[in-house]
Amino acid sequence: MKNNQLPSFWVVIPAAGIGSRMRSTIPKQYFTLGNLTVLEHTLACFLDHPQLLGIVVCLSKDDQCWSELSVSKHPLIQVAEGGGERADSVLSGLMALSEQAKPDDWILVHDAARPNLTREDLDKLLFVVSKDTVGGLLATPARDTLKQIDSQGRVIKTLDRKVIWQALTPQMFHFQQLTCALQHARKMGMIITDEASAIEAMGFSPLLVEGRSDNLKITHPEDLQWLVPYLVTTK
């Protein structure tokens, strides 16, 4: 796929989480994979892309690790203070771009702890979604049988996995549209776990673009163990 077929884009990386489920005093985005931290791996895929306009990394106000990374001095990266929830961090990142991004500029939001995004999937998302009026996201079809349970942990029913997809990132929407959607969600007191859900709450239907299932978000210690040999040998 030629670069001139792809749109220019901005990236927002919410990286203010503390990773409590990793049972570590170090936030998971700063765990080391090979010679780089998780966050450095995450940023590399975007920094290598010729259509990148810039990146905003949203950090905790108490972050003490970012400034130690050489990538923190990259001219295409700026930082913003993250919030208590993901949506707050993303909105802060968008506000940091308010004097640079145009209303119709594409914004890609990507998890700080999702370091295995491939250039192929990134280009596929950019190419497909740039032709859509709403925006969209990488996702992967459900592969296992999924159960819905009640409050006691008992199965209510088996879900039809043919219509169930797992949302991944990046998620790609226009600057103004995403900003309005997140502001609306905040005003309504909604719990937003990803950007697509905020867009959905505005009455729009984001487009799903199938991505690789190994575009894994590090959430538990075993996730890190799974990724270590892969990243060390392929990046």
Domains and CATH numbers, the chain: 3-234 (3.90.550.10)
What is the predicted pLDDT for the residue at 17?
Answer: 79
Mean pLDDT along residues 174-191: 96
* Nearest alpha carbon to residue 89 among 117, 60, 58: 58
Q: Let me know the angle formed at the C-alpha of 188 by 186 and 191, rounded to the nearest 5 degrees.
A: 60
The CA distance from 79 to 143, in Å, is 37
What is the predicted pLDDT for the residue at 26?
Answer: 83
pLDDT band per the 50, 70, 90 thresholds, residue 223: confident
Mean pLDDT along residues 219-233: 66
More reliable by pLDDT, 55 or 31:
55
> What's the whole-model pTM score?
0.92
Mean pLDDT along residues 138-164: 94
Q: How does pLDDT run across 186-199, given as a tens digit for each residue?
A: 999 998 999 999 99
* Nearest alpha carbon to residue 195 among 168, 216, 221, 213: 168
How many other CB atoms sit within 10 Å of the CB of residue 135?
A: 24
The 3-state DSSP class for residue 143 equals: coil
Mean pLDDT score across all residues of the chain: 92
Strand partners, 138: 209
What is the predicted pLDDT for the residue at 58?
Answer: 98
What is the predicted pLDDT for the residue at 35?
Answer: 86
CB 196 within 8 A of CB 204: no
What is the predicted pLDDT for the residue at 150?
Answer: 95
Residue 21 pLDDT exceeds 60: no
What is the predicted pLDDT for the residue at 33?
Answer: 84
What is the predicted pLDDT for the residue at 19?
Answer: 57
What is the predicted pLDDT for the residue at 23?
Answer: 52
> Going edge to edge, which strands form the sheet with 136-141?
77-81, 52-59, 9-15, 106-109, 165-174, 136-141, 207-210
What is the token pair recorded at 137? 């996201």
What is the predicted pLDDT for the residue at 231?
Answer: 62
* Nearest alpha carbon to residue 127 among 6, 208, 3: 6
What is the predicted pLDDT for the residue at 228?
Answer: 64
The CA distance from 188 to 179, in Å, is 14
Mean pLDDT along residues 158-186: 96
Mean pLDDT along residues 11-29: 78
Q: How does pLDDT run across 88-129, given as a tens digit for each residue?
A: 999 999 999 999 999 999 999 999 999 999 999 999 999 999
The sign of the dihedral angle between the CA atoms of 215, 217, 223, 227 is positive
What is the predicted pLDDT for the residue at 168?
Answer: 98
Q: Contacts by 218-225 with C-beta closer than 8 Å and gap 24+?
A: 218/22, 218/28, 218/31, 218/38, 218/113, 218/114, 218/115, 219/21, 219/22, 219/28, 219/113, 220/21, 220/22, 221/22, 221/23, 224/22, 224/28, 224/31, 224/33
Residues 6+ apart with CB under 8 A from 120: none
* Nearest alpha carbon to residue 76 among 135, 9, 130: 9
The 3-state DSSP class for residue 166 equals: strand
The CA distance from 202 to 181, in Å, is 6
Mean pLDDT along residues 19-44: 82
Q: How does pLDDT run across 34-69, given as a tens digit for each residue?
A: 889 999 999 999 999 999 999 999 999 999 999 999
